[in-house]
Structures are given as C-alpha cells and as structure tokens.
Structure 1
Amino acid sequence: MQIAYVYGSKWPSEGPAGSFCTFTCHGLANNTNENIYLFASKNTDKDINEVLKNYYFLEPLSNLKIKLVDDSAMIGRVTKFYIKAFNKIRKLIKKNKIDAVITRKTGFLPYMYFLKKIYGVKIFFETHDFYLDMNRRDEDDRKKKELFEKIFLPKVDGIITHQINLRNLYKEYLPQQNYCVARTGIREVIKVDNSFENEYLGYIGSLKKRKKISDILYALARVKNEDLKLLIVGGRNNKRVDEILSLAQDLGIRDRVKVTGWVSRKKVEKYLKMMKIGMVPLADSFFNRYLTSPMKIFNYFSHGIPVIGTDLPTIREIVTDKCGLFYEHDRIDQLVYAINKLDSSEEVYNKFSNNVVERAKELLWDERGKKILDFINS
C-alpha cells in the first residue's frame, strides 16, 4: 500500500506535530517496501536525508519520500499548500504511485474526498482534536472545522486516533465509522542505570498555566527528601519563567529549581538521563480529558522513568497503574504522597521503572506504523 501523508505545516519544525508526522511516516516506511510520501510546507533548503539524520535523529529510508511544497505567500498560504499538495498527489495517483491518503488537517478533508471520488483511493483522517460538536468546547471560532468534520468524516474510510478516549468521543457521533487507535510513539528505549540515585523531579514542555507546573512546586516544598530538586526543560516565555521562579522563591525552594529554557532535542536526551521521576501535571479541562496525549510521557518512558500525573483518563490509559502514580486535580497532598512513595526505596522505584521499560517497548513508532498499515490494508 503506497501512502501519501498530508501534514501541511512547516517541515522541519520545533513543534511536536512535525516530529509526530515525521516519526509516523518513518514507522510506516519501516514496515513496508512500498513508498510512503510525507507532504509538508517547505522550511529548509538542506538535503532531506541530512535533516532526518541531524534534526530528527532518524536513519533515512529509501521508500520514505519527503515532499516539501513551496507555499510562500503573503495571504492564503494554507490554501495554496492544499491546492499544490492536491495536484502533486493527483499526478502520483495517475502514475499508480499512491493507493491511500492520510491527513491530520481538517482543511484538507474536501480535497481528500475529491481524490477518493475521482480516483477511488482510500482516504483516512488522523485526528488529534475534536470539532464535530463545538458545544463541547469552550471556543466558538471553529465553525468551519465543525462543518468539515460533519460533512466529510462519515465519508472517509477510517479514523485514526492516538488514544482510546478520543476514539470513544468520536464514536458517540459516528458509531458506524471504522477506527484505529495508534498511540504516539517512542524512537528507542534507553534504560538509565541507577536512575533512583538521580536528584531531579523532571518536567519537559510548555510552561502555560493550564499545565499546572505550580502543583510540582507546592509539592516539592513539602516532600520528605529535601535533596530532591526540580528540573524544568522548556521555557520560551521569559515572563512565565520569572513567575515560576518567583513562586519557588516564595516557597523557599528557589535553590532547588532549575529552568533550562528552550533546548535542542539532543539536550533533552541529556536532561532525561538526570531525571528520577517524570511529572505530568494538567488542569482538568476538555482538552486534557479527551484530546491530549502528552509527548513528555513518551520522553520519560524512553528512559525508563516512572511517571506521576494528574488522574485524567488520557494520562492514566498511557501510564497505567504499573508505570506510575496519580493524584486528583488540585490535591497537592496526594501529589506529595506519590513523590514520597516513589522516592521511598530503590525496590519500590525499580518495580515501576522496570514496568515502564516493558510498556515502552509496546509504544515504539514502528509499532504505530505497523498498526496503521494493518488498518489501511484491512
């Protein structure tokens, strides 16, 4: 099965979506001898294989074809990309080089539907959001996306989700549709020796207030082990960094909190090796309850790091009771208890850490690619 995967945003990019699409397509290509095409907006003049090696740390594959579309324009850039990608895919279909099309872009659904109607190719929607019923959301500016999903999702050959909760949400509205749950992946599993001896609670990612990083600070001020510290990997917004450090100062733990600022992928790997426990605090919201699949969990899992997260369905289904502990939203006392428990003994810690390594082996990008291929071929 030859597949075109339409991403649409800039490639390469620092955002998680660019990594997600690149690793997904690499996983697809690694599970077939046929060609996998990734269509993205041009953001480099460098050699594609050089970018794969040095930016994404992936081994280039002869059947992974990155098709970068020059969509530079003052206005209408997205529409320009869709039209150019549509025409390129159409030409490949005519040459019998594409059998199926996947997109994660709601705006590309009409174009994909026309490809199915005209040429008979299979079409699939990979969803990371939900617009079918905007009454469930706190926004009112996505009516076009809501309309597109209502019109075109019943017509696609299948919907791919990255977690069960999102699949179940769509099934409430489209119970007859075909679904595939293919989780966000891990590139490789690297077990860090003696990570119980590490001194850092770790957090990777955005510092937005809905991430509830303050929960970790309040808990750190109350844990038994005063040698524990907090390593925050991220921070583009200087104002938000200052707010976090100011709170640490007020709590008397400023000397135990380090914020790196935004760092390269290579440095993320370095910091992961310094972490003892991976933290996933989240506010209880529609997005966090139904849509998110935090990449930080997969980062932690790739190094055998046990996780403590807010007790939300989206976190619990990935982490499971064997790989981490959970606390109710805004229950700092429960968070303190969870940290103390994982930090209580090497025996307790290693039990969780070993389970994380085994769980991580089920979540590799290649496994994701295999699952999607099986779904498309079924």
Structure 2
Amino acid sequence: MQSSSYPRYYAGFEVGSGISGLKVIPVDGLPMGQDLVTLPSFLADGDISLLLKSGDTDATLSSILQPGDYVLSWQDRTYFLGNLLAHGTYRDNAFNDERRYWSDHAQMLLLCLACILIPERCFELRLVTALPVSLYNRERRQLVRHALSQTYHVTFNGREREVIVRCGYVAMEGQGILIHYGDETSEQAVIDIGERTTDLIAASGQRLIGRLCKGDQFGVGQLVEDLQQMGLEHRRKITTEKAHALLQAYAHQQPYPPIKTANGHLAAEHITTTIEQSIQRLARPLSSFLAGAWNVEEAPPGSQFDTIYLGGGGAYYFEKIVRATLQDCHIITIPEPQDANICGYADLAQALDEDRWEMH
C-alpha cells in the first residue's frame, strides 16, 4: 500500500504534564466509535519477557494484555504505558524538561494514543499540537514540528503499525479553547489551567495579542502533591493516578476511591479538607497572576475583554478564585474543560490549507 492511499485523520494532540490527549477526525468523514482518548503522561521502560512470565508457559503478549495495558516498541526500545506503568522501570513524565514536547517522550505518547483510537495497520495523522506560553517561540515550534513529522514503524500491543505524522501547526496552549469556543471578531481571552502550567491567551477575534499572553508554573499538580503528602503522613503511597481519581471525585461530588491505611481507610472529610486547603494555598498566587497579567489602568483587570473562557483540568478546582479575581468580567467555564484544547487543535487541523501537510 502506498502512503498516499493510507486512511488520513486530522488530529489535535496535547502533551500534558499529567494527562495527554488526542482527538482525531477522519478525513473521509466516516463516524468513529471513539474519537478522543486520554492517557497519563508517563512512559516506563518495558521488558516484554518479564511481562510474559506472569502468564502461562505458552502465553503470548496479546493473551496477557488487559484493557488499558499498552506496549509500544520503537527503534529497539520498548515502553509500557497506561495500566502497565507499574510493571516497567524508570517511569517518567519528563517534567521540567522542555524537550518533552519534541523528544521521544511526545512521540511515544502520540503514537500510543493514535494506535488506541485508529484500527488500521497503516494510517496518516495531520496534526496540530501546542507549546506552553512560556516556551512559545519560533525556534521551539520548529523543533516540535520537525520532530513529530516522521514516518514511524512501531509495534503496538504486539501488532506492527506504520504511522505517518505530518505536523502542520504548533499552537499556543490554550489556543485550542479559543478556536473551539471563541468567535472571529470580539475581544476575548482564555484562562487554561493545566497540570503544571496556567496559560493566559488574549486575542482580537482569532488573532493573538502576544503582549497579553502569559504563562506561569502552577496548576493541578500542586493539588496532586498535597494529596500525596497527606498519604505519606498516614504511611500510604498515593500514586499520581490515584490522586487524580480523588480530585475527579471531589470535582464531580462523587464518593472517593478508598485509601486503605493500617487502621482502616482515610476519612472522606480528611481528603476533602486536604483538597480545599490546597486550593486555597494557590488562591493568592493565581489571583496575583491574573490581575497582574491583565491589569487595566483605571478599570478592573480583564475588563478589556468581551468574554473570558475558563478551561483546562484546573477549571474544576479554581473557578471560584478566577471569578472572585475577575468579578467584573464575563467568564464562561466551558463544558468538558479538560478536553477543549485538543478538540480545538483538531478543528484547526481540519481547517488548515493543503500545503501545510507537506513534510518539512
């Protein structure tokens, strides 16, 4: 099969510090059973032979894998992702390494997410991804675009795949929300609170106003760390995945997953108090950041915008702080805020001119 005849998909990809996600739209318009998937942003070095030891003597990789288990092999290296992270070694999310956006870390997360969603053995992705505001410049955007745009021959869960990736554009994190929910004419802004970064996007219509786009290093990750510290105080290790499960239960007012201790379980009231105290601890720095970035002479901060969209996974936890800081502004908390960026990036991929998809 020639690459020109491979099934093609427009795609929006976000390399989160905690959660990565991919949204795909088939170029042929045929509906998909699932078109969006997220995954913890961690890779672990994997050894398939050790994994096979846990099965029968004649076990094959496909026979022992369970839902949520992902094994990806590329260039003589094997990675475990998803539920297999605990079975690998050197687990890492490349936090504090700006190269994570254009290194094999981003490549492997992208390929795993794509292979989860797309059934064909060979396919092409027409991709839009993003960089945090603090890293957003021409040089890094080119690094991302060139690094991701390749033809990959990988083995995913024991099956060989060929994936052609053409990265057509590298957006500013938060810009996906603007694309997905914003309009073409008004003065508008985005507050995108993610795992480790909060990005502020300002635009006139869809044209970014660079001097009002800012980024800072705080987000949901601090809540995760406080929950993990709470666990250690009770001699219990809380994984990042478990901490996120606790936070999601808090956000959606659902029962907490049980956290066992030597004397029973952590009380729900104690978990709630820890989360709420953690949120309040970030209230002052977040409020100062917002007010300082969008300060207006002789008018309330943020009042230069007709609409401010609040998104990212942190929207669930920091909405009250944002509204209290920018109380004179029209703020819209978007639906499913954790997924809005990748949906916007996929929208943009679908709208780009054909010449964007040439290999560079």
Q: TM-score, normalised by structure 1?
A: 0.32
Per the normalisation by structure 2, the TM-score is 0.33
- Structure with the higher strand share, 1 or 2: 2
Relative to its length, the structure with more helix (as a share) is 1
